[in-house]
Structure 1
Amino acid sequence: MTLDAPAAEPAARGRLVTPTFVLITVAALGYFTALGMHLPVLPRYVEDELGGSGLAVGVAVGAFAVSAALVRPAVGRLGDTVGRRPLAVVGGTIAAVSIAGYGLVASLPVLVGFRLLTGLGEAAFFVGVATAVQDLAPDDRRGEAASFFSTSIYGGLAIGPFLGEVLYRNGGAGRVWLVSAALAGVGAAVALLIPGHLGRAVPQTLVEGDVVPAAEAPRRRFLHPAAVMPGTILLLGLMGFAAFGSFLAIHLDDLGIDDAGPYFLLYGASVLVMRIVGARVPDRFGAVRTTTLSLLAIAVGCLTIAAVDAAAAIAVGTLVFSVGMSLLFPALFGLTVNTAPASERSHAVGTFSLFFDLSQGVGAPVLGIVVDLAGSDRAAFVTAAAIALGGLVMARIRLPRPGAAR
């Protein structure tokens, strides 16, 4: 295996939340707030200002995930060589520049093109910061580290949509794109302070006890095997988020509820609280039981949103849905990182996050087709619930049992 730089000090002495850990999380918070601003705005922009259909909404929302998915494994392998900081800085910069271009031309193909470019930046930024956090975490606290780090993701998803809604109503989509680009740029700037040694490999490889040049090392597969099954189950669960992020605002508009911001705020805040309060749940109860609970809650939440028109009931459905989403990622992410060798950690993270991209890049357009065929936005949530239940069955059968690798 590749001989990495020395392990980070926090992991060696058992500490988890350190100044460096907080720094990385702050960088991610700025970046994911930028992405969160798009959730209530992008679907309306495509439908109202570009005259797009349900399929067009799905394509525009999911386009950035397609390009991200295509490069995730390659970016992951790169991160095991050049380190985590270059990925985060370059990725955040690409995202900021591309987001600033969203409103330059009022054309769906141009918007999709910029979204694809955003995806390239997203792939690099996420792999860089997410792997850096795992580099700093003690081995027995990987799930907890993922939970705490993901407060930046869901903090961004709590703040971003609310901020995006306010800016859209007061200044239009153009103002949303500019502020979003600035926040992504802040994330890239803060990422400059990530320690340069994290993930930077020594250009030698240990093979059967002998040190040989890296060029002669065994070639890695495109997808890291430790991430394939956890990633597949993540994809199935995140179809619920594809429905929630792409069609909730439109669904609420159809019901006469013209402000989606509070629902996205409820979702993000609930996940944020659960990630903090329940940070040790994945490590204590294991991947199988935590994932089972998560997928069941996602299915129930989606069905509630689809079945009941009352604003309060949709809020309850959103709350239940958020509980499932809060536990799914850290359970499966911790399982993936603990199974992969340390020298291949970035590759495993890149492969795992590829499945997140597929859930949006493939899931959103597929759900858009379902919506167009059914003539109702409810169909997206019902379909997502059924897929989550399929993922639950797969998790019970295929994930390692408690006591095995977690």
Structure 2
Amino acid sequence: MGRPGREHHTARGRILASHARQHRPRSGGHGGCVPPRRGPRRPCVLVSVAASARVLSVFLVFLALGGLTTTVPRYVIGVLDVPIGAVGIAALATGIGGVLGRLVSGVLLRRWHPSVVALPAVCLAALSLLVTAVVPELWWLLLWRVVQGLGTGAFHTAVFTRAIGEGGGRTGRAIAFASVPLFAGTALGPSAAELLTRFVGVSWTWSVLAIPVLVVVVLTALQRHETLAASSSAPFVVAQSAIEAGMWRRLGSHATRMVHRGAVPAGACWVLLSAAWGGAQAFLPLYALDVGMSASGPLFLTFSTVVVLVRIGGAGLFDRVPETLQAIVGGACALAGAGLLAFVPSPPAVYVAVVLFALNTALGFGALMRTATAGADAAERGSAVSTFNLSFDIGVALSTAGLGIVVQATGGFAAAFAIAGGCALAGVLIVLVLPGRGLRRALASQSS
């Protein structure tokens, strides 16, 4: 080919000149470039305030629930003057409400933002605390125990669903940090309730414990308003049709999907592993008096402190250590703790047992929850969390009711805690023999 002519060079020059004019730096400061337009800094402050409000809400709710741990047994025995087995029946009523709350919240969380689900849940919890002591009758107590379980079960599910959804795939770390305000509240609640009982009496303690929950009602309402206002950019997109649609129509359309089948095996294991502590925490205020302790609040403080320290310290390891290995170690701790309560009834043994139960909760609960939610997508995550958390309510309800029956029949706690230890052993054996989740495979995956 020949040399390009003048016409070709002229056309090429015009193209280059046009390109230079389009990308010419504008005059002014910042090196001739237009500085990027910055948005207001206020939304960042609002985000941090909203996160702090969520943490405070979880702390206050479980501060009140921790106070009920010592209030309910004293109220049943001292005010209602009924046999000790009624303590287990009250826990069973709370567990039934918790099961209902988690089932309903699992359906609602398929389409609704967790803050929207948490608001009516915490309102029910506050109402139950305000009216329980109005009528000093057992049937009235059981009725509002069901309502309180319904509210707190739905609130707990909404909190952990949001934490897992915002965890960026690091489920173990998200569960660990979401548990910190929860166990901080349950650590301080029992001692605070015992102090209140000394000054205002056990009946008025119910109403005083409702105050922090009422504060959470206000905080949750504000969070719900911000969530709906920013729903287009939130991690959980709340469709307007989902908010305006009727609850009963939505419940009917999802009634067949209340239980996430993938979370059932892990939940069944946790029912057995948590039986010992589930029953112990209801009767620990009475058991502590039997072994010569003046108060049980420090025991719950010890339990929650150990759980928080383990979960914060091991937050980076939970996603790397096999879940099965964590569950087995936790179950072994629960078995040892139940054995101490059954056969070594002394204050030092009680503290050691509480530490062992705390290790079981810190390791086993988070590991099995990660197993339950591993195969769930974003739309099914709330259902998986609620299904697994059913195991917590079922375990506490059945173990406490069974423990109360055995204690009332035998006149002591030894046989009851021995049976609870047998449940923990059964849970460990089930984890060992589950297909594909045995200890050998767990150790092999850890070494690889």
Where in structure 2 are the equivalents of 1:270-281 lying within 5 Å?
270-281=306-317
Offset of residue 27 of structure 1: 1.4
SS in 1 for 2:257: coil
Determine if the alignment matches structure 1 residue 294 to structure 2 residue 330.
Answer: yes
Offset of residue 258 of structure 1: 2.7
Specify which of 149, 152, 170 is matched with residue 178 of structure 2: 149
Match for 2:130: what amino acid? A
CA distance in 1, matches of 2:186, 2:255: 38
CA distance in 1, matches of 2:51, 2:364: 22
Gaps of 5+ in 1: 1-16, 205-213
Q: Which residue of 1 is the match for residue 410 of structure 2?
A: 374
Match for 1:129: what amino acid? V
The number of equivalent residue pairs is 379
Determine if the alignment matches structure 1 residue 37 to structure 2 residue 73.
Answer: no
Rg (Cα) greater in structure:
2
Offset of residue 179 of structure 1: 2.2
Q: Which residue of 1 is the match for residue 220 of structure 2?
A: 191
Specify which of 282, 285, 308 is matched with residue 318 of structure 2: 282
Where in structure 2 are the equivalents of 1:246-325 lying within 5 Å?
246-325=282-361
CA contact (8 A) 2:101 2:151 kept: no
SS in 2 for 1:81: coil
Where in structure 2 are the equivalents of 1:3-402 lying within 5 Å?
21-139=51-169, 141-192=170-221, 193=223, 195-196=227-228, 197=231, 199-200=236-237, 202=239, 220-398=256-434, 401=437, 402=442
Match for 2:164: what amino acid? Q
CA distance in 2, matches of 1:313, 1:325: 18
Q: Once structures 1 and 2 are overlaid, which stretch shifts more, 353-362 or 291-300?
A: 353-362
Offset of residue 256 of structure 1: 2.7
Moved over 3 A (4+): 17-23, 194-204, 217-220, 399-404
Question: 1:389 and 1:50, CA in 2 relative to 1: closer, same or farther beyond 3 A?
Answer: same
Offset of residue 146 of structure 1: 0.5
Deviations 1:173-224 (A, max 9, x none): 13321221111222233233263445445599xxxxxxxxx99x99853310
Offset of residue 102 of structure 1: 1.6
CA distance in 1, matches of 2:84, 2:259: 32
CA distance in 2, matches of 1:237, 1:110: 31
Offset of residue 306 of structure 1: 2.3
CA distance in 2, matches of 1:107, 1:310: 34
Gaps of 5+ in 2: 1-46, 242-249
SS in 1 for 2:70: coil
- TM-score w.r.t. length of structure 2: 0.79
Larger RCO: 1 or 2 (CA < 8 Å, sep 6+)? 1
CA distance in 2, matches of 1:218, 1:51: 43
Q: Once structures 1 and 2 are overlaid, which stretch shifts more, 93-102 or 167-176?
A: 167-176
CA distance in 2, matches of 1:378, 1:28: 35
Question: 1:358 and 1:218, CA in 2 relative to 1: closer, same or farther beyond 3 A?
Answer: closer
Offset of residue 163 of structure 1: 0.7
CA contact (8 A) 1:21 1:133 kept: no
CA contact (8 A) 1:271 1:325 kept: yes
Offset of residue 104 of structure 1: 0.6
CA contact (8 A) 1:92 1:125 kept: yes
CA distance in 2, matches of 1:200, 1:112: 38
- TM-score w.r.t. length of structure 1: 0.87
Question: 1:385 and 1:76, CA in 2 relative to 1: closer, same or farther beyond 3 A?
Answer: same
Offset of residue 24 of structure 1: 2.5
CA contact (8 A) 2:292 2:347 kept: no
Match for 2:279: what amino acid? A
Offset of residue 232 of structure 1: 0.9
Match for 2:426: what amino acid? G
CA contact (8 A) 2:106 2:384 kept: yes
Q: Which residue of 2 is the match for residue 7 of structure 1?
A: none
Offset of residue 399 of structure 1: 6.8
Offset of residue 131 of structure 1: 0.6
CA distance in 2, matches of 1:248, 1:269: 17
Match for 1:241: what amino acid? W
Q: Which residue of 2 is the match for residue 6 of structure 1?
A: none
Match for 1:330: what amino acid? G
Offset of residue 380 of structure 1: 2.7
CA distance in 2, matches of 1:29, 1:45: 24
Match for 1:337: what amino acid? T
CA distance in 1, matches of 2:256, 2:72: 38
Match for 1:339: what amino acid? G
CA distance in 2, matches of 1:21, 1:356: 26
CA contact (8 A) 1:295 1:392 kept: yes
Question: 1:201 and 1:329, CA in 2 relative to 1: closer, same or farther beyond 3 A?
Answer: same
CA distance in 2, matches of 1:263, 1:380: 19
Offset of residue 273 of structure 1: 1.4
Match for 2:219: what amino acid? V
Offset of residue 20 of structure 1: 5.3
Question: 1:185 and 1:400, CA in 2 relative to 1: closer, same or farther beyond 3 A?
Answer: farther
CA distance in 1, matches of 2:60, 2:435: 34
CA contact (8 A) 2:99 2:394 kept: yes
Offset of residue 365 of structure 1: 0.9
Question: 1:368 and 1:375, CA in 2 relative to 1: closer, same or farther beyond 3 A?
Answer: same
Deviations 1:320-362 (A, max 9, x none): 2211111121111122222211111111111111111111222
